[in-house]
């Protein structure tokens, strides 16, 4: 019977065993045990395990919720960014004849037009155009040349891609801006500029006012906040438990005992005080078997 009770006692969580294991074993040695104690100790071990698990679950839930709320606050404080796109095609003027342009030449033309349209002067003209009134806040703080190079160039892209038939050259204009109406107006203006430069430019996909912002993806930010909160919470609890357990065991020790433990750790026999104490408890347990 004692063997069964000792087996059940081993089912307690390691943290609990570290703190109470020695005295619990002493009680089992001294008390007149009954068969009902096997179930009692087993039930106690299950309860302790459940308590340990529950506190992790609760902490993870609360910390995750806090993380989600913080992430939500951040996500909703970020302004929407709208992306407006248009797809154009530079048609081969004489595709059917032998004098038609090669695909490479068409691509060169698109790149040439893109370089001109996205030139610094042209971007500055777009920014300064009162019809668009782009980057009003930035213009109060920075020179317009800087805004054109550092901000607008990162938000405005022209990307060539194949049409599949190998004759024409398609390309997409994309502009991201916090105001979807202005984003649309700028892309419409760029479509007009491409068309003005070459009569062979056709429209595959007209620019449309975007329905949904492309950034921020608030649900993803909140989900990341939730997961980060849960992980942080569980990690914090694990660290707190380890340090607390160490503090409980050593806080009442006399100074010379603490110094002795530190010297054992410093001698390299153990990684830390916790490991040393665990080793002592194991040795003590083995001595009383």
Which residues contact other proteins (rule: CB under 8 A)?
5, 8-9, 16, 20, 22-28, 30-31, 33-34, 36-37, 40-45, 47-48, 252, 284, 288
Residues 237 and 244: their CA atoms lie apart, in Å, by 10
Q: Which is nearer to other proteins, 34 or 112 (CB)?
A: 34
Q: Which is nearer to other proteins, 41 or 144 (CB)?
A: 41
Q: Which is nearer to other proteins, 44 or 160 (CB)?
A: 44
Q: How far is the CB of 77 from other proteins (least distance, A)?
A: 40
Q: Which is nearer to other proteins, 30 or 267 (CB)?
A: 30
Residue spans of alpha helices (H) in 99-217: 103-117, 120-128, 136-141, 144-146, 153-155, 180-197
Minimum Å gap between C-beta 260 and other proteins is: 15
The nearest distance, CB 242 to other proteins, in angstroms, is 16
> What whole-number distance in Å separates Cα of residue 215 and Cα of residue 75?
10
Cβ closest to other proteins, residue 13 vs residue 202: 13
User: What SS3 state is found at 253?
Assistant: coil
Cα 61 from Cα 66, distance rounded (Å)? 9
- Distance (Å, whole) CA 57 – CA 184: 48
Taking the mean position of all CA atoms in its chain, how far away is CA 65? 16
Shortest spacing between CB 12 and other proteins, in angstroms: 9
Q: Least CB distance from residue 80 to other proteins, whole Å?
A: 48
The neighbouring-strand residues paired with 196 are none
Nearer to other proteins, 26 or 217 (CB): 26
Distance in Å, CB of 228 to other proteins, minimum: 28
Distance CA 158, CA 151 (A): 15
Residue 95: phi, psi to the nearest 5? -65, -35
């Amino acid at each position: 019977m004692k063997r069964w009770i000792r087996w059940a006692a081993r089912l307690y969580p390691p943290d609990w065993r570290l703190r109470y294991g020695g005295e619990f074993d002493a009680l089992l040695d001294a008390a007149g045990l009954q068969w009902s104690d096997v179930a009692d100790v087993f039930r106690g071990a299950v309860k302790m395990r459940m308590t340990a698990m529950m506190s992790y679950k609760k902490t993870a839930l609360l910390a995750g919720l806090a993380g989600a709320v913080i992430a939500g606050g951040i996500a909703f404080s970020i302004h929407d960014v709208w992306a407006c796109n248009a797809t154009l095609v530079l048609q081969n003027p004489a595709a059917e004849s032998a004098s038609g342009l090669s695909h490479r030449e068409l691509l060169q033309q698109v790149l040439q037009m893109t370089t001109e349209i996205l030139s610094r002067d042209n971007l500055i003209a777009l920014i300064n155009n009162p019809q668009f009134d782009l980057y009003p806040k930035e213009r109060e703080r920075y020179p317009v040349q800087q805004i054109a190079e550092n901000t607008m160039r990162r938000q405005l892209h022209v990307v060539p891609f194949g049409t599949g038939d190998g004759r024409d050259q398609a390309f997409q204009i994309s502009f991201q801006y916090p105001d979807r109406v202005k984003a649309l107006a700028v892309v419409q203006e760029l479509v007009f500029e491409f068309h003005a430069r070459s009569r062979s430019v056709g429209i595959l996909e007209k620019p449309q006012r975007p329905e949904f912002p492309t950034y921020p993806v608030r649900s993803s930010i909140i989900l990341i906040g939730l997961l980060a909160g849960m992980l942080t919470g569980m990690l914090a609890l694990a660290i707190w438990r380890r340090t607390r357990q160490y503090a409980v065991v050593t806080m009442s020790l006399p100074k010379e005992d603490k110094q002795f433990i530190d010297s054992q750790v410093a001698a390299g026999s153990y990684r830390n005080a916790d490991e040393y104490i665990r080793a002592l408890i194991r040795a003590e347990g083995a001595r009383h078997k």
